[in-house]
Chains A and B, each alone.
Chain A
Amino acid sequence: MSRSDALVDADWVEAHRSDPGVVLVEVDEDTSAYDKGHIPDAVKIDWKKDLQDPVRRDFVDKTGFEALLSERGISNGDTVILYGGNNNWFAAYAYWYFKLYGHQNVKLLDGGRKKWELDSRELVEDVPQRQRTSYVASEADPSIRAFRDEVVAAIGKQNLVDVRSPDEFSGKLLAPAHLPQESAQRPGHIPTAKNVPWAKAANDDGTFRSDDALRALYGHEAGLDFGRDTIAYCRIGERSAHTWFVLHELLGQGNVKNYDGSWTEYGSLVGVPIELGEAK
């Protein structure tokens, strides 16, 4: 993967949004954002209602993903362009789902909704009507998803990247600062994890920083060993999907997994090691 395989810019979207075989999809942290205006021709995926299992703590299964994409009128061969607010935070999370279930032709709109809005580009309230499809997903790809036992085994052996804010990493906060403070049983971080807050990968306007800047950020600044396998985590796996996107899709690192159980799971486990304090 490389930047051109994984990203498109706003001009590309303006030119191709109505092309057959191109589907724009908005996925926002604020799930009401789409309803107040979205890029013309875009459909909506609600990360909470559409992408989570309604009973278990897990994401939607293969059958559910097939039903969702079929209902939204997305075909296996379509080029899906995902975008959202807050530096494409939740769009990157959805991108990880699409890859997990084998949809190869998926990209992010660089800068997402924020840059689109800051550039004063057109937003509409009309909801496009797309014909239903019969989407067929692959089995979930375990090579990009980490589970807790794998994470515990990776301590001191693999790169662990904690992408939460420094205050969450140190144990000062239990949740992101725009949410009420509720979360895991214990604060802190996984021993040996490096702290690279996810949004350091983005410019103020939400676009991704250059490949060279990203390599420097994760490499000599944070101390990741690019020769090792990597697991990224945050609180519930969404910010770390953004970092997974950077490392795996933009920088082409081979074995990078997203631990979506993240701190809400790890920080509530009995018997696992936890460290407090600032990054070492």
Chain B
Amino acid sequence: MTDGCGAPAGGVTSLAGIDIDSQAVVQGQVSRSGSAVTTGYARLLNAGGDFVAEVPLGDAGGFTFFAAPGDWTVRVLAPGGVAVDRPISAGYGRVAKVDIVI
């Protein structure tokens, strides 16, 4: 398990060893034309549109957030002025998947 505020390498967290029942996980991958986007960032915004967290995209374009139950928005930022928003609903005990094509 990660300690401190340190993000996992590449911004993707393995869920191995994590009790999913107590987590509201939001996870996904970012791709462009079928290829993973590895240079970019995923931000989590709350229902009010405020920034909550941000991770760099991982080697496979992946990202993971440990949110709370409720409605969220994932915003992907990538070179070229790309900013793409996707809504997602999270809940305890499941992984809310949101794959994003830019």
Residues of A within 8 A of B (CB): 29-33, 36, 47-48, 85-87, 89-90, 114, 117-120, 165-167, 172-173, 175-182, 197, 199-200, 204-205, 235-236, 238-239
Contact = CB atoms under 8 A, between A and B. Distances in A.
Contacts of A177: 44, 52-53, 65-68
Contacts of A182: 1
A274 B8 CA distance: 31
Nearest to B79: A120
Interface string B9-25: 11101000010001100
Contacts of B43: 204
A243 B19 CA distance: 33
A217 to B, nearest CB: 12
B75 to A, nearest CB: 8
Most buried by A among B4, B11, B67, B81: B4
Interface of B: 1-2, 4-11, 13, 18, 22-23, 39-41, 43-44, 46, 48, 50-56, 64-68, 77-81, 83
B77 A118 contact: yes
B77 A29 contact: no
A89 B7 CA distance: 12
A84 to B, nearest CB: 11
A176 B51 CA distance: 11
B101 to A, nearest CB: 19
In the complex, the 3 A-B pairs of residues with the closest C-beta atoms, listed nearest first: A32-B9, A177-B53, A178-B53
Nearest to B90: A177
Contacts of A117: 39-40, 79
Contact of B78 (A29, A30, A86, A118): A118
A117 to B, nearest CB: 6
Contacts of A48: 4, 6
B56 A85 contact: yes
Contact of A178 (B10, B22, B39, B44): B44
Contacts of A167: 46, 52, 68
Contacts of A204: 43, 77, 83
13 contacts: A29-B7, A30-B55, A86-B54, A87-B54, A118-B78, A118-B79, A120-B80, A173-B68, A178-B13, A180-B18, A204-B43, A205-B77, A235-B5
